[in-house]
Amino acid sequence: MILSVVILGLVTAQRLGELVLARRNTRRLLAMGGVERGAEHYPLMVGLHAAWLAGLWWLAWDRPANLAWLTAYVVLEALRVWVLASIGRRWTTRIIVVPGETLVRKGPYRFIPHPNYAVVVGEIAVLPLVFGLTAYAVVFSLLNASMLWLRIRAESAALGETAAPLEA
């Protein structure tokens, strides 16, 4: 039980920290002339992630943690660090396009176009599995897939607007 609370506490702190970082980066990108795209679906995405985490607190705080699934989740978090380090000050939870900026093509961006979303797909599925919540993982994975269908279309369209070459 204590391990579950620690895990959920760390994930919550991480998410809140990411929101602080994202807001800072968003303000900076907008100040550089960036334009937000896909703002209409942003509240849905925030709501989905908040509901996912709140539901885990409600259902999992007193459940035992499966260490194999926890290891998989830790690996996902290492991949998240790689994603954030690769995109740097351009990472945000919003879609912000700065005219003339080049697309990032280093780190995991060399291999797949939206590596952060690949990590999120894993997180949404794996963290509930840490606590044995298989149905919860399936339901939120399906909801997340619907959200990502909208999100990736909006982001790909926005990134397609940039005329600058790719960054090596």
The residues facing 27 across adjacent strands are none
pLDDT at 63 over 70: yes
pLDDT, residue 82, reads 97
pLDDT at 13 over 60: yes
Average pLDDT over residues 131-152: 97
What would the mean pLDDT of 2-14 be, rounded to a whole number? Answer: 97
CA distances from 153 to 37, 46, 118, 140 (A): 11, 17, 15, 20
- Which pTM value belongs to this model? 0.90
Mean of pLDDT over the chain: 93
List, in sequence order, the alpha helices (H) in the chain: 2-31, 42-60, 67-87, 115-130, 134-160
Where are the domains positioned within the chain? Answer: 2-160
pLDDT band at 162 (very low <50, low <70, confident <90, very high): low
Q: Which residues contact 4 (CB under 8 A, 6 or more apart)?
A: 60, 61, 62, 63, 64, 65, 131
The pLDDT of residue 57: 98
- What is the CATH code of the structural domain delimited by 2-160? 1.20.120.1630
Is-contact 50 156, C-beta < 8 A?
no
Q: How confident is the model at residue 102, as a pLDDT?
A: 84
